[in-house]
Chain A
Amino acid sequence: MRLGFFLKESLRSMRRNAAPSFAALATVLVTMLVLGVFIPVFQAATGAADSVRGRVLVDVYMQTTATAAEDARVHKEILALPHVRSVSFESKAKALAQQSKQFPGAYALVGTNPLPDTFHVTPDNPGNVLVVRSELSPKAPGGSTRMIDPAIKNVSNHTEDTQKILTITSIVKWALFGLTLLLVSASILLIANTIKLSLYARRREVEVMKLVGATDWFIRWPFVIEGVIVGGIGATVAIALLAITKIALLDPLTSSWRLIAPLQTIGFVWLIVILLASGMAISALGSGLSLRRFLRV
């Protein structure tokens, strides 16, 4: 009986205050739509940045004359260094096979294998790539560099590219993070404000209810339920719009246009759950809390 009564009360007040209810609904809808677009975009962008950063390696080229024993020794030395996560070995034969597959004919002209044995060193953190590099080839006092092992010919980390990748990806990540934070707080403020306005229009009503002897929660429940309904409808419409966009635009695009690897983003089901829950929670909490001011009679 109680729940039914509260439900009826909130439906009635929505009907009687259609304009503010609609304003709150539209606000929730727009913010959920923006959030629904931004969460996957943020995830895709950070995922892309991370995968680019993951490709940051230090290549250690051996002398072309290096023996298997020297290879093994250098492998051990590299592994002993700090900030090294993993080392993969690419023999000259394997490198040749790969290269000749990529450029058939080009290597057929060359009689012998000109490629050296190579170690690909992955640092524990992309930011440590320069540390690893200087460990492998410490700067000598004279300004020249000297390898830690005479069997190593060269250490390369494509310094310029690496620097660029690292700075750009971190800028992108932080910028997106800041933007998302800004959007979320803007949505919360916007929804809270709209709710406050619609409550302000009804403050006299709340005052009368208090004078008749209604308890705070007796007054509050219909408002909270109203918030849940408004938030739920707003989020549902936003989700429907997102789903249409996804099915009509995004899905055909990704299947026919495999230029980039499919990006790892949040599953659509999870997105629905998050949007629905946050839409209802924000507007229910917003109306419950905003009401506090008017209950002090």
Chain B
Amino acid sequence: MAISESHNRSRRRPVPPTTRAKKVARPPRSGPGAPVIEFRGVSKLYAGGDIGLDQATFSVDRGEFVFVVGSTGSGKSTIMRLLIKEVDATDGTIRVAGRDLEEITRRRVPFYRRNLGVVFQDFKLLPSRTVYENVAYALQVTGGTRREIRDKVPDILRLTGLSTKLHNYPTQLSGGEQQRVSIARAFVNHPPLLLADEPTGNLDPETSIGIMQLLYRINRTGTTVLVATHDQAMVDKMRRRVLELSQGRVIRDEATGLYARDETTREFAARLRGAGIEYPEV
């Protein structure tokens, strides 16, 4: 119900990705064709001697939807933690939108993070705030005015199908709903890059499809989306580019073809649920 409503809405008024993105994104140093994420020979060695990442090299272009898969400890989370600059690489260079992460000082990290949307397995919502306030906080952090908040927050919550839950606290929501709130918070600034670390790890399959559909919708607005997951079945069904890691190495990087870029979110969801059977929308 909520999904189809917001879906229609996004059709009526598609989010212009370029103008929205310009406000928050730092213009890349190289031309428009430059990759959004670029890892070149990146290694991460943790203090205990564990290898987080071993000579990983890959790049992600603007507007791509990429899965990062691999078993536990393969380095998926390390990639995410490196990208949000929670940890620094031991070796190699990471560039995001043309910017070398090494150059960002500790003081500048918060400003860098505002260009990213991040979604976690455990949602990481502020427990003492309502749904509305949780999303508004992401805008307040960047110095958003009250008016901006009034304009943007209800919009994004409608897009994520949470219009009726504005004043609920996170503990009063289901897992799927909490993850929607966290996606809304990640996307309210319209970041050029959205990172999701096991976004469906705590959710049942049907709810997971809803979350993936939401991420796909965000991807269709031009946002680059990087999803770390170990849900192999989901990855197979989505048929998007897959980066597979094992023991910190990239062992597979392929764009699983056969998917139409212009697939609508409804078709997409139907395909995920299998064999074109259209379930009533939840």
B86:A212 contact, CB within 8 angstroms: no
Contact stretch, chosen from B137-145, B157-165, B200-208:
B137-145
How does the 8 Å CB contact mask read for A13-28 relative to B, with 1 for contact and 0 for none? 1001100000000000
Check B84 for interface membership: any CB of A closer than 8 A.
Answer: yes
Say whether A268 faces chain B, with CB atoms less than 8 Å apart: no
Taking CB atoms, residues of chain A closer than 8 Å to B118 are 211
Of all chain B residues, the one with the shortest Cβ separation from A215 is B110
Q: Is the CB of B145 within 8 A of A213?
A: no
Do B141 and A1 touch across chains, with their CB atoms under 8 A apart?
A: no
Chain B, residues 112-145, CB within 8 Å of chain A (1/0): the string is 1110101000001111100000000110111001
Give the docked Cα–Cα distance between A5 and B137 (Å).
11
Measured CB to CB, the closest approach of chain B to A222, in angstroms, equals 11
Chain A 203-228 per-residue mask, 1 if CB under 8 angstroms from chain B, else 0? 01101111111111010000000000
Q: Is the CB of B84 within 8 A of A5?
A: no
CB contact between A212 and one of B111, B112, B113, B127 (< 8 Å): that residue? B113
List the B residue with the shortest CB-CB distance to A16. B128
Residues of A within 8 A of B138 (CB): 212-213
Would you mind naming 24 contact pairs between A and B with Cβ atoms under 8 Å apart? Answer: A1-B145, A13-B128, A16-B128, A17-B128, A208-B124, A208-B125, A209-B126, A209-B137, A209-B141, A210-B113, A211-B86, A211-B124, A212-B113, A212-B137, A212-B138, A212-B141, A213-B112, A213-B113, A213-B116, A213-B141, A214-B110, A214-B141, A215-B111, A215-B141
CB distance from A5 to the nearest CB of B (A): 7
A297 cross-chain contacts in B, Cβ below 8 A: 86
Whether A12 is near chain B, meaning CB under 8 Å from some CB there, is yes
Bound CA span A125–B277, Å: 103
Q: How far is the CA of A170 from the CA of B196 in the complex (A)?
A: 70
Q: Who on chain A is nearest to B124 by CB? A: A208
For A16, the chain B residues whose CB sits under 8 A away are: 128
Residues in B with CB closer than 8 Å to A209 are 126, 137, 141
Say whether A205 contacts B128, CB under 8 Å. Answer: yes
Known: A204-B124, A211-B118, A218-B110. 4 other contacts (CB 8 A): A1-B145, A205-B128, A210-B110, A213-B111
Task: Note all chain A residues with C-beta closer than 8 A to B146.
Answer: 1
CB of B28, distance to nearest CB on chain A (Å)? 19
A interface size (C-beta, 8 A): 20
How far is it, in angstroms, between the C-alpha of A1 and the C-alpha of B140 when the chains are bound? 11
In chain B between 85 and 131, which residues have their CB closer than 8 angstroms to a CB of chain A?
Answer: 86, 110-114, 116, 118, 124-128
Which are the 4 A-B pairs with shortest beta-carbon distances?
A213-B113, A213-B114, A16-B128, A214-B141
- Please judge, given known A-B contacts A1-B145, A297-B86, whether A213 and B126 are in contact too, CB under 8 Å: no
The B interface, classified by DSSP as helix, strand, loop or mixed, is: mixed
Which of B84, B127, B142 is in CB contact (< 8 Å) with A211?
Answer: B84
Give the residue name and chain of the B residue nearest to A9 (CB).
Answer: B140
Would B110 and A208 count as touching, CB distance under 8 A?
A: no
| B220 sits at the interface (CB 8 A) | no
Q: Across the two chains, which residue of chain A brings its CB closest to B84? A: A211
Task: List residues of chain B with CB within 8 A of the CB of A208.
Answer: 124-126
The interface residues of chain B lying within 8 Å CB-to-CB of A218 are 110, 141
Q: Give CA–CA (A143, B84) in the complex, Å.
A: 89
Determine whether the beta carbon of B128 is less than 8 Å from that of A5.
Answer: no
**B7 CB–A CB distance under 8 Å:** no
Complex interface bits, A103-120 against B, C-beta within 8 A gives 1, otherwise 0: 000000000000000000
A205 lies within 8 A of B126 (CB): yes
Tell me, in angstroms, the Cα distance from A218 to B128 when the chains sit together.
Answer: 17
Residues in A neighbouring B145, C-beta threshold 8 A? 1
CA distance A13 to B126 in the complex (A): 11
With A5-B140, A218-B141, A297-B86 as known contacts, state yes or no: A213 contacts B128, CB within 8 Å.
no
B175 to chain A, nearest CB (A): 17
B190 interface residue (CB < 8 Å to A): no
Chain A residue, CB-CB nearest to B118: A211
Collect the chain A residues with CB atoms within 8 Å of residue B86's CB: 211, 297
List which A178-217 residues lie within 8 A (CB) of chain B: 204-205, 207-216
Interface members, chain B 238-265 (any A CB < 8 Å): none
- CB contacts under 8 Å to A, within B156-202, are 185
- Measured between C-beta atoms, what is the minimum distance from B124 to chain A in Å? 5
Residues of B within 8 A of A214 (CB): 110, 141
What distance in Å separates the Cβ of A167 from its nearest Cβ neighbour in chain B? 58
A205 and B114 in contact, given A212-B185, A213-B141 (Cβ under 8 angstroms): no
Assembly CA distance A297 to B86 (angstroms):
6
Q: Check A211–B128 contact: CB distance below 8 A.
A: no
Least CB distance, B156 to chain A, in whole angstroms: 14
- B116–chain A nearest beta-carbon distance, Å: 8
